[in-house]
Amino acid sequence: MHFYQSQTSLRARSRGFHLVTDEILQAVPEIRNIKTGMLQVFIQHTSASLTINENADPTVRIDFETWMNKAVPEGDPDYEHDYEGDDDMPAHIKSSLMGASVLIPITNGKLNLGTWQGIYLCEHRNHGGSRKVVISAWGA
């Protein structure tokens, strides 16, 4: 059984949904040593999230951002937590809706994602900065 763990920072990105699969893979090249296993990616932030979805058509990522902004609008006068601006509390809600981690099977040293799947960094702040992730891989 092999166990690997690393922490890396994803580069700062603008608000929206961004493919980060390649950045994640660069941070844990050891997965090539795993024939059958799992990879977990955990984001250490409360205003950004991770998910898996379409990796080919960028309009999917645009539509995700559009839907999230309609579902969780900024500037709601009922929000009390707004110390860092109108995008502050909505970012926390969006992060909880999307989730803090993804779990992906490893097969023959590669992520066993579907043909059109990729890992998204969901940046919910206007100026979120770089984002730290913990990447854990295990298997035989």
Give the pLDDT of the chain (140 residues) as one tens digit per residue: 999 999 999 999 999 999 999 999 999 999 999 999 999 999 999 999 999 999 999 999 999 999 999 999 999 999 999 889 999 999 999 999 999 999 999 999 999 999 999 999 999 999 999 999 999 999 99
At 122, which CATH number? Answer: 2.60.120.460
Number of domains in the chain: 1
d(CA 67, CA 46): 19
> What is the extent of the structural domain holding 88?
2-139
- Count of CB atoms within 10 A of residue 64's CB? 18
